[in-house]
Structure 1
Amino acid sequence: MVLSSDGKKPFRQQKPAGSRPAKPGLQVRAAASKILAAVVERKLPLDGALDNEHGNPAYKALNDGDRALVRAILNTTLRHLPRIEAAVSSLLDSPLPEGARALHYVLTVAAAQILYLDVPDHAAVDLAVEQANNDPRSRRFAKLVNAVLRRMGREKQEILASIATISPMPTWFFERLETAYGKDAATAIAGSQLQPAAIDLTVKSDPKGWAERLNGIVLPTGGVRLAAFEGSIPSLEGFDDGAWWVQDAAASIPAQLFGDLTGKRVADLCAAPGGKTAQLILAGGTVTAVEQSANRIKRLRSNLERLGLSAETIATDLTKYEPVELFDAILLDAPCSSTGTTRRHPDVLWTKGPEEIEKLAGLQERLLRHALTLLKPDGHIVFSNCSLDPSEGEAVIARILADTSDVERVAIEPSRWPGLEMAITELGEFRTTPDMLHVPAGFASGLDGFYAAILRHVA
């Protein structure tokens, strides 16, 4: 207690409002709202924002448990974003003013928890109201936040039913899928992104044995799919021994298209993080791994070291790479929009756009044309990427074949891929989509969207 200015009446000294301890969970929601805004407005990749060392400061300030909750909120929100925004809009008498973008993300994050996460409604509502009150720009909307979210909780089932037919993908990308695959297939692909990706392993040998040891199943690709489990990947049997590595089933396909590589000189271009490099080594090839980023080369070397495998590694700009000797086989897993990986990276469709897809398609064509100059006569090159957009796959190959007389397509035989025959196109190219590969109950179905084609340098 201290005396008032007249020296008579005592009063209790007040603490500044900002010094009050935050409500439990408030920092988590604040971090999620800020990062969501950065992803959608500034096209910031989610992996970068959630990096433990270099990520968003609000995220780095949290403990491990709170970080996990932020990740869950953001992944869920981004998977369902168009539906969530439609749900919020349906409960507003009029759109929020342009100056209320921060409030928009507060409402979106809270709505994601109410509609799709196992979070008590009252917690989502109370913390969103607290966020609004703590922001001078949003304070006048605090009662609106309370009313909208409480109503959403009361009418949850009706709201979910009303938004169920809205595509969870951005309109621009769904329309591209519809043009490429048809409406039914596009709808199936969009629906598949609502489920998190499975954990797939590529094993050095004995997939059946590893499936039994790790409570998994053997996939048509020869890999192992794990059931849901609690714990960390490095804690699993075989990790320290380098018996396997994590690699989506679809990502394991391109390297397998070469078959036996014994005695052959092989290049893995754009090689990091090294899963495909490891496959090429195990297939018998003498492998040179090329990657432009020195940091990514370090990661590749570290991964190969854990697996007990070795390859020549070169950090250089691929377009300037000129080997002393040409290669018998080349794998070019080209940089792409990654739109086939939205089950594990739901931010992709919100950080990329049509312009970037076209730009990347041009880059892929330049890289492939240069890679062909590194191939011996009668050598084979596999071109692949994890985009669902044909402009980054089929169209690139079509242009190469149209004006390159000494290159031909080698058709992939569906009979060699039992369980994935539907992924082989009429032209004999691989085109997986996330709605393919249905597996037994207890395991997540699906795989990444991938494209792969084999070309031969005609002697």
Structure 2
Amino acid sequence: MVQPSGIHSRRAALKMLDAVLRRGETLEQAEHSALRSVRKPADRGLALAIANESLRWQTDFDAMIDSATKQRLPDDARQRMVLRMMLAQTLRLETPSHAVIATALPLLAGGPRRLAHGVFSTLIKREAALPEAPSLPGPVMERWGARAEAIAPGLVDPPPLDLTLRDASETQAMAVQLAADSLAPGHLRLARGEAIEKIAGFSEGKWWVQDLAASLPARLLGKGTHESGSKHVLDLCAAPGGKTLQLAANGWNVTALDLSKRRLGLLKENLERTGLKASPLRANALIWEPKHLYDAILLDAPCTATGTCRRHPDVLHRIGPDQIEEMVKLQRGLVERAATWLKPGGVLIYAVCSLEHEEGENQAEWINANCDLAPLAITAGELPAGLQPTAEGWLRTHPGLLADEGGLDSFFVARWQKA
């Protein structure tokens, strides 16, 4: 039997959704295996788009599906996953209905194709439509509370492309050259779509990809030079290296420590491309001991990464209390060790790309109570226009902020100084 054009993309998308929703893999982990047999870049891009949009709007797609079935399909039923994909293509990717049906029903070979076809046709006849912003899963709504309403509008679309410049003085010139917007010195924001390697300045190492929110922790350490030379900073859990590059560009003498060999490889590639200098080090921060103390430590701690939900919507469905608790313990262990590696007067930045209070605000309160560090408040003057510190002097960003300019990932950032 001749298979319809595009079936390989849909089959790969289904494999990714199955890996995320049934096995708890990240979408990034799942794509390597699922896309192995998909050769064309356009087909690979389509598979990823279907999977991402299915996850981004899953709660709303499920409500539609349930409204058109007499008996509720199990959450992990293959028919439900395929129907989510069908709706994602129709309502988000503007794929014609006949193409959606032709490429979806073969995925249910040996199964109830008639049910999927009937449910989809019923919803199309009803002219089913999505809300203005994605509805968040119930457990996520419970965890995020009042913030959820403000966050959801920032999840409608995949984010734009943010770049951090090696030389902030080139911001205006590079913005003109790339037809980009800028929300802070050294930052550019471009529309999605063009291959990274083809953007002007890539081969010359003039920039690297980094969400604006992800660039804020390193910005809060300022320049790394003083009268006698460069100050020493430890970038803890550094790979793939955006913050290391920032610190090196700002004159710091950087030790970039990470446990992952693969991710450290990416860091080294970016150092080579940009011509910036740092000292990558592969080690486990929970047992490693430094040879000297540091003027500053930037701990971008391992976390649940729920703050990246606008670019990685799988986190909305994978993360729960067990993962949060595990990360909290790891983060505290890293902070306790890092606090002992600072010189007197040294500064610690703690950051997580998480929307969970347990990993952010609660951790800052724990550090205040348990570590020999004095809070060093973040000020409005240190932040891009439109962002404000909290009353405690912390920073909390989320996808709904700066929504008119393209939004932000969510980061929690706080700062302390050693007596």
Which TM-score band applies after superposition, normalised by the shorter structure? over 0.9
Q: What is the CA–CA distance in structure 1 between the aligned matches of 2:373 and 2:107, rounded to whole Å?
A: 60
For the 8 Å contact 2:133–2:155, the answer to whether it is kept is: no
Q: What is the CA–CA distance in structure 2 between the aligned matches of 1:223 and 1:345, rounded to whole Å?
A: 22
> Which of the residues 167, 186, 198 maps onto 2:160?
198
Aligned to 1:224: 188
Displacement of 1:126: 3.0
Q: What is the CA–CA distance in structure 1 between the aligned matches of 2:232 and 2:253, rounded to whole Å?
A: 5
Q: What is the CA–CA distance in structure 2 between the aligned matches of 1:277 and 1:151, rounded to whole Å?
A: 53
Q: Pick closer, same or farther for the CA change 1:418–1:202 going to 2, 3 Å.
A: closer
Where does structure 1 lack aligned partners over 5 or more consecutive residues? 1-19
User: SS at the partner of 1:454?
Assistant: strand
Q: What is the CA–CA distance in structure 2 between the aligned matches of 1:232 and 1:114, rounded to whole Å?
A: 26
Aligned to 2:213: 250
- 1:237 and 2:200 aligned: yes
Displacement of 1:165: 8.1
Aligned length: 413
For the 8 Å contact 1:221–1:253, the answer to whether it is kept is: no
Aligned to 1:449: 410
Displacement of 1:415: 2.9
Q: What is the CA–CA distance in structure 2 between the aligned matches of 1:72 and 1:301, rounded to whole Å?
A: 30
Question: 1:122-156, CA deviations, whole angstroms, 9 ceiling, x for partnerless residues?
Answer: 11123333332x2x2x1xx2222222111222222
Question: 1:167-200, CA deviations, whole angstroms, 9 ceiling, x for partnerless residues?
Answer: 532211111111xxx2xx3112023112111111
- 1:74 and 2:51 aligned: yes
For 1:319-334, list aligned pairs within 5 A. 319-334=286-301
Q: What is the CA–CA distance in structure 1 between the aligned matches of 2:210 and 2:273, rounded to whole Å?
A: 15
Where does structure 2 lack aligned partners over 5 or more consecutive residues? none
* TM-score of the pair, normalised by structure 1: 0.86
Percent sequence identity over aligned pairs: 38
Q: Pick closer, same or farther for the CA change 1:322–1:114 going to 2, 3 Å.
A: same
For 1:49-448, list aligned pairs within 5 A. 49-51=30-32, 55-56=33-34, 59-96=36-73, 101-132=77-108, 134=109, 136=110, 138=111, 141-156=112-127, 159-160=128-129, 164=131, 168-178=135-145, 182=146, 185-205=147-167, 206-220=170-184, 222-228=186-192, 230-262=193-225, 263-404=230-371, 406-422=372-388, 424-439=389-404, 445-448=406-409
Question: 1:281-326, CA deviations, whole angstroms, 9 ceiling, x for partnerless residues?
Answer: 1111111110011222121111111010121111000011211111
Q: Pick closer, same or farther for the CA change 1:42–1:278 going to 2, 3 Å.
A: same
> Which amino acid counterpart does residue 88 of structure 2 have in structure 1?
A
Question: 1:342-375, CA deviations, whole angstroms, 9 ceiling, x for partnerless residues?
Answer: 1111111222212101210111111011111111
- 1:44 and 2:25 aligned: yes
Q: What is the CA–CA distance in structure 1 between the aligned matches of 2:191 and 2:134, rounded to whole Å?
A: 28
User: SS at the partner of 1:320?
Assistant: coil
Displacement of 1:257: 0.6
> Which amino acid counterpart does residue 197 of structure 2 have in structure 1?
P
Q: Pick closer, same or farther for the CA change 1:330–1:80 going to 2, 3 Å.
A: same
Aligned to 1:7: none
Q: What is the CA–CA distance in structure 2 between the aligned matches of 1:130 and 1:124, rounded to whole Å?
A: 11
Displacement of 1:24: 1.6
Question: 1:223-252, CA deviations, whole angstroms, 9 ceiling, x for partnerless residues?
Answer: 111134x43111111111111111000000
Aligned to 1:14: none
Using the TM superposition, name which of 23-32 and 334-343 deviates more.
23-32
